[in-house]
Structure 1
């Protein structure tokens, strides 16, 4: 069977059976397409059912020349999943990735911003411009609720339960969770919804979407990155800031102020507590203070 046919079936499997997000599925497909291009460039005529471990190792060797360890690990993981799917569907009896190990990578500590930096960045927003209150509401929501950028752009008016003090968020794998939202963040969202958003000519398809561009469409992930990049440059903050930086800062500041790790896990939408535990390593000085304050032997 041909690569494209099985790749398409694999993508359907990831969406229907495993419930993975669109972005994750796209990344899996890109990794498999890299292998397909390698075979084509090297005139290796092997189907997904015939490709062997030696050929895979040659591909990984070439990949290692141009990609860092983290990217290599992701590609190896994606290929393992693809060949496991072929075994699951009885197309193959073995996985040619079985003995191929991913490179060892250290656990990358997330970048964070101090509250002063966040306030400095927000202060650069020109509220007299049409997008001013929208951009301020975006930053306040990213930091105030710890959202992923995909969760932010997908946020609906029908997801806002301000009277109850929560918003409903659709995360990875279309899993929904409720996150507390402060009165302060609510205020800035309402200022945008009842002000600048009304002035936008709404397209029916996006009438329930919170954050719109000037043409009445849902903002893209790229546009959120662009907004933050421009604000960062204007505020003269030298750190490399992305939408995820505000999510990291949300979790780190909660932890530093005594929040329970399990509560942070639920708000971030992490399936495993081990993913959330990375924040325990961000500020060791804070952990020392916790030990000094709460342990009976200090």
Structure 2
């Protein structure tokens, strides 16, 4: 079995058996391709079945000189998954990365925006242009519903259940969840949909897609990043803001205002509560206030 065939089979496994999204599969494949490229560059003739632990240790040693610890950790994790798949399919008996440890990263706290900064960004939108109403609706949806950027660009009109107060979101691995939508977010989506989108010439494949570009097609992830970057510059906010910053802010502000962590987990679509628990580290001052207010031994 050569590397290309092994990688193709692995991608099919991730897609069909694990139900992972295309973006996740691409990232896993990149880790394997990095290893394959390194082997070629160093004229090392091994295949996925007979590659040794020593060879992989040398690869990790070399890659550590080129990338930061977080990227190094991700590559190790991705390769461990690849070799675990080979064991699962009985191509190998052992995982050559089993004894290789990832670097200690600590826990990175997410960047957040204050409510004032979010309002400043939204108020920086030029509503005299048709895309202004769209961009306002996009930011309100990112912050109001805590969506991932992929979930936003894939949001359908048929996913909007305003009368019931929910939107249906398709998340990682095509898993669907219902997310409550507030009156403010619903208002600005409706303005965009009824006053702007309705006048566009829409591509046949995007008839049900909510947010469209000027050509009537679905927006890309890259375009959402560009929109936010430009608004950040216009608003004069000196932070590295991405679509995910709004998701972090959504969760942090809910927690600060007393929302239950389990409820936040469901709205974010986290499989594990431990992923959501990172938000308990964002504002320790708030947690102190909770203890002082609610604990009987305050």
TM bucket (normalised to shorter chain) is over 0.9
Matches within 5 A, 1:109-120: 109-120=109-120
State the partner residue of 2:199.
199
Gaps spanning 5+ residues in structure 1: where?
none
**Whole-angstrom CA distance in 1 between matches of 2:199 and 2:36:** 48
State the partner residue of 1:58.
58
State the partner residue of 1:8.
8
Matches within 5 A, 1:95-106: 95-106=95-106
Which is worse superposed, 251-260 or 196-205? 196-205
TM-score with structure 1 length normalisation? 0.99
- Number of residue-to-residue matches in the alignment: 298
Q: What is the root-mean-square deviation in Å for CA atoms of aligned residues?
A: 0.6
* Superimposed CA distance per residue, residues 163-207 of structure 1 (whole angstroms, 9 cap, x where no aligned partner): 000000000111000000011100100100111112221111111
- Alignment partner of 1:65: what SS? coil
**Whole-angstrom CA distance in 2 between matches of 1:75 and 1:199:** 47
**Whole-angstrom CA distance in 2 between matches of 1:156 and 1:256:** 31
* Superimposed CA distance per residue, residues 28-73 of structure 1 (whole angstroms, 9 cap, x where no aligned partner): 0001000000000001110111110111011101110011111111
Matches within 5 A, 1:34-73: 34-73=34-73
State the partner residue of 1:227.
227
Matches within 5 A, 1:1-298: 1-298=1-298
Gaps spanning 5+ residues in structure 2: where?
none
* Superimposed CA distance per residue, residues 76-109 of structure 1 (whole angstroms, 9 cap, x where no aligned partner): 1110110111111111111111111111111100
**Whole-angstrom CA distance in 2 between matches of 1:11 and 1:128:** 46
**Whole-angstrom CA distance in 1 between matches of 2:129 and 2:244:** 25
Flag as ranges the 4+ runs of structure 1 deviating above 4 A: none
**Whole-angstrom CA distance in 2 between matches of 1:199 and 1:110:** 39
* Superimposed CA distance per residue, residues 148-167 of structure 1 (whole angstroms, 9 cap, x where no aligned partner): 00000000000000000000
How far apart are 1:5 and its partner, in Å?
0.7
- Alignment partner of 1:18: what SS? coil
How far apart are 1:274 and its partner, in Å?
0.5
* Superimposed CA distance per residue, residues 203-252 of structure 1 (whole angstroms, 9 cap, x where no aligned partner): 11111000011111110000000000000000000011000000000000
**Whole-angstrom CA distance in 2 between matches of 1:258 and 1:35:** 46
**Whole-angstrom CA distance in 2 between matches of 1:232 and 1:143:** 15
* Superimposed CA distance per residue, residues 229-282 of structure 1 (whole angstroms, 9 cap, x where no aligned partner): 000000000011000000000000000000000000000000000100000000
